Amino acid sequence: MTTPQKALIIGCGIAGPVVALFLQQAGIDAEIYESQPAGLDEAGAFLNLAPNGVNVLKALDIDYLLEKDGFHSVGMDFFNSDGKQLAQLESCDEEERFGSRNVMIKRGQLHQILRDEALRRNIPIKVGKKLSGIQLNGFQGVTARFEDGSQAEGNFLIGCDGIHSQTRQLIFPNAPKPAYTGVVDCGGFAQCPPGLSTSGAMQMIFGKKAFFGYIAKPDGEVYWFSNMAWPTEPKRNELNAMSGEAWRQQLLRNHENDPAPVPELIQSTPGDIGKWPVYDLPSLPAWHKGPVCLVGDAAHATSPHSGQGASLALEDAAVLAQCLRDSLKVEHAFSKFESLRRERVEKIVRQARRMGNGKVATNPVAVWFRDLVLPFFIKQGAKASEAVLSYKVEWEKEVA
C-alpha cells in the first residue's frame, strides 16, 4: 500500500486545521498555508456550531475546548414584527438525540481554538502565504507557489480557502462563481439591556424591513445579527466604504418599527458593526483535479441561514482524511470523498437559499401567509433536521 506522506493545506480558518489534525492521526504529515499575515481571530461575527459539527471535534477529543468561550442555545423563539410569537423550537435534548449539543461561539474564537490545537500538535502553520499558482505533476505530487516568491511541494493539496477560494480559481478557472443571494448580513455584540431575558433561547424576529436574531449569554453579553434585502449585489468595497455611523443609522431605519430590544441592541453596540454580502456556491462540476481537492466553502459554500456552514466544513475534513487513510491512491480517495458528500451538502445549500428568501419578505400578503404557516413549517423543518444533525463520521483514533 502506498500512502501519501505530505499534504499542503491552503487556508487556516475552520476546515484547514481540522483536516490537518485528522491527517496526522492517519499518519499523514500536513503543512498549513494561510494568506493573512496573522490569525483570523476577528473574522466575522458568531456562528452556531451544530451537534453534527461538535461531534467531529469530539472524534478528535477537542470538543471540550469549546466550553471556555462557547455556550449552548436551548432553542429558538420566532416572532413577527408586532412581537407576536409565531413558533417555538426546543433543543435541550440534543445531546441525548445526537451525541452533542450545539455551541454558540464567536467565529474568531473558533479559529483560534483550532489553530492553537494544530500548533500544539506540531502541525506547521505558515502565515502571509497567498497562493498564486499550482503546478500539477500528475498524481506524483503538486507544487504550490505563493505571492512572496516562495513555494512548497507535497503529495497532494487541499483547498480550505473559503467561498472565494483561490485554489478553486486556479484549478477550475471556468467553474461557476459564488452567487449573490440578495441579502446583506451584519452582526455585533452588545450588553444585555435591563429586563432582557437570558433564558438561552435564540430570538428570531421577522421585522417589517429586515430579519433580526439575538441571544443573550449568561454573563449578559448579547450576540445579534440582521439580514436585510439588498437586491443589487454591492460593488467591491461598497459596504466597507460606508462609515460605521452611517451603517448604524441604516440599520436603525430598517428596524425602527420592530419590537424591543432590537433598536436598543443596535444603538448600544460599541464600535463599528460588521457587514458583508451573503453568497452561496452553485454546484461545481467537480471538487477535485489531479492531486488537488476542495473542501468546505471552497467546494460547496452555503449561506448562513441553515446554521450549517462550519459544521459541513468539519464533516468534510473528517471524511476526506478518512478516505485518504483508507484508499490506495489519492485519486480514488478524492472521488470517494466527493461521492460521499455531494448529495448531502448540496441539499443543505438549496435549503439555506430558500430560508434566506423567506426571511426578508415585505409584501403584506406574503407576510400574512408566512405568519400563518410558519408554525407548521417549523415543525416539519425540525423533523427534517434530524438527518442533518445526527450525521456522524466514525473515526478510528488509532491507525494499525
HEC-encoded secondary structure of the chain: CCCCCEEEEECCCCHHHHHHHHHHHCCCEEEEEECCCCCCCCCCCEEEECHHHHHHHHHCCCHHHHHCCCECCCEEEEEECCCCEEEEEECCCHHHHHCCCCEEEEHHHHHHHHHHHHHHCCCCEEECCCEEEEEECCCCCEEEEECCCCEEEECEEEECCCCCCHHHHHHCCCCCCCEEEEEEEEEEEEECCCCCCCCCEEEEEECCCEEEEEEECCCCEEEEEEEEECCCCCCCCCCCCCCHHHHHHHHHHHHCCCCCCHHHHHHHCCCCCEEEEEEECCCCCCCEECCEEECCHHHHCCCHHHCCHHHHHHHHHHHHHHHHHHCCCHHHHHHHHHHHHHHHHHHHHHHHHHHHHHHCCCCHHHHHHHHHHHHHHHHHHHHHHHHHHCCCCCCCCCCC
In which band, very low, low, confident or very high, does the pLDDT at 137 lie, cut at 50, 70 and 90? confident
- Answer yes or no: is pLDDT of 15 > 90: yes
**Rounded mean pLDDT, 382-400:** 78
Do residue 220 and residue 252 come from a single domain? yes
357 vs 146, more confident = 146
Read off the pLDDT of residues 301-323 as tens digits, 9 standing for 90 and up: 999 888 999 999 999 999 999 99
pLDDT of residue 398: 45
Is the Cβ–Cβ distance between 196 and 268 less than 8 Å?
Answer: no
44 vs 388, more confident = 388
Domain end point (choices 252, 279, 306): 279
Do residue 273 and residue 304 come from a single domain? no
In which band, very low, low, confident or very high, does the pLDDT at 336 lie, cut at 50, 70 and 90? very high
Q: Which amino acid is at 246?
A: A
pLDDT of residue 139: 61
**Rounded mean pLDDT, 372-384:** 80
Do residue 141 and residue 272 come from a single domain? no
CATH number at residue 207: 3.30.9.30
The answer to whether residue 380 sits within a structural domain is no
The answer to whether residue 102 sits within a structural domain is no
Q: State the burial class of residue 64 (Cβ atoms within 10 Å of its Cβ: 0-12, 13-18, 19+).
A: exposed
Do residue 133 and residue 238 come from a single domain? no
In which band, very low, low, confident or very high, does the pLDDT at 395 lie, cut at 50, 70 and 90? confident
Do residue 61 and residue 140 come from a single domain? yes
Do residue 56 and residue 132 come from a single domain? yes
CA distance 27 to 40: 27
CA distance 37 to 40: 9
- Answer yes or no: is pLDDT of 166 > 80: yes
CA distance 141 to 330: 10
Backbone torsion region of residue 11, taken as left when φ is above 0, otherwise alpha when ψ lies between -120 and 50, otherwise beta? left
Per the structure, the count of domains in the chain is 2
Do residue 166 and residue 47 come from a single domain? yes
Do residue 158 and residue 304 come from a single domain? yes
pLDDT of residue 210: 94
Domain end point (choices 220, 250, 279): 279
The answer to whether residue 343 sits within a structural domain is yes
CA distance 181 to 179: 6
CATH number at residue 47: 3.50.50.60
Do residue 188 and residue 236 come from a single domain? yes
Report the chain's mean pLDDT, rounded to a whole number: 91
- Using alpha carbons, select from 293, 290, 310, 292 the residue that is nearest to residue 302: 310
The answer to whether residue 218 sits within a structural domain is yes
- Answer yes or no: is pLDDT of 276 > 80: yes
Chain centre distance of CA 195: 32
The answer to whether residue 149 sits within a structural domain is yes
Do residue 28 and residue 143 come from a single domain? yes
Range of the domain at 114: 6-69+107-178+282-360
pLDDT of residue 197: 72
pLDDT of residue 400: 34
Read off the pLDDT of residues 181-236 as tens digits, 9 standing for 90 and up: 999 999 999 988 887 877 789 999 999 999 999 999 888 899 999 999 999 999 87
Do residue 140 and residue 45 come from a single domain? yes
pLDDT of residue 195: 78
Q: Which of 38-52, 87-101, 270-284 has the lowest mean pLDDT?
A: 38-52
pLDDT of residue 209: 92
Do residue 152 and residue 235 come from a single domain? no
Radius of gyration over alpha carbons of the chain, in Å?
A: 21
Read off the pLDDT of residues 86-135 as tens digits, 9 standing for 90 and up: 999 888 899 999 999 999 999 999 999 999 999 999 999 999 999 999 99
The answer to whether residue 96 sits within a structural domain is no
The answer to whether residue 369 sits within a structural domain is no
CB atoms within 10 A of CB 253: 11
Domain end point (choices 279, 306, 340): 279
Backbone phi and psi for residue 26, each to the nearest 5 degrees, phi listed first = -85, 0
Q: Which of 244-248, 271-275, 307-311, 366-370 has the lowest mean pLDDT?
A: 366-370
Sorted by sequence, the CB contacts under 8 Å of residue 88 that are 6+ apart come out as 75, 76, 77, 78, 378
The sign of the dihedral angle between the CA atoms of 296, 298, 300, 305 is positive
In which band, very low, low, confident or very high, does the pLDDT at 39 lie, cut at 50, 70 and 90? low
The answer to whether residue 74 sits within a structural domain is no
In which band, very low, low, confident or very high, does the pLDDT at 138 lie, cut at 50, 70 and 90? low
- Using alpha carbons, select from 145, 36, 56 the residue that is nearest to residue 103: 56
